[in-house]
């Protein structure tokens, strides 16, 4: 499916070109469930072809065991 290919392409870029560990990346595709525009027009469908990224704070690292 195209949406999965689009997500995988972005993951590949982040991992291979940007050096981000794949274990830090999670994916999902919601195009048909969370459109940002109407799918009735070409312009709306174009807006719905997107990949959204959410940056979250990493969990704190434990530096030593007390």
Report pLDDT digits (tens) over 11-47: 899 999 999 888 888 877 776 788 999 999 999 999 9
| pLDDT value at 1 more than 80 | no
- 55 band by pLDDT with thresholds 50, 70 and 90: confident
End-to-end CA distance of the chain: 50
Range of the domain at 14: 2-48
Distance CA 25, CA 53 (A): 10
pLDDT of residue 49: 86
Residue 35 falls within a domain, yes or no? yes
Residue 64 falls within a domain, yes or no? no
Residue 43 falls within a domain, yes or no? yes
Residue 30 falls within a domain, yes or no? yes
């Amino acid at each position: 499916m195209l949406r999965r290919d689009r997500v995988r392409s972005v993951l590949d870029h982040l991992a291979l070109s940007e050096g981000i560990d794949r274990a830090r990346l999670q994916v999902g595709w919601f195009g048909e469930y969370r459109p940002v525009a109407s799918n009735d027009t070409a312009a709306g469908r174009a807006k719905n072809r997107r990949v959204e990224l959410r940056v979250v704070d990493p969990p704190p690292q434990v530096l030593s065991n007390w």
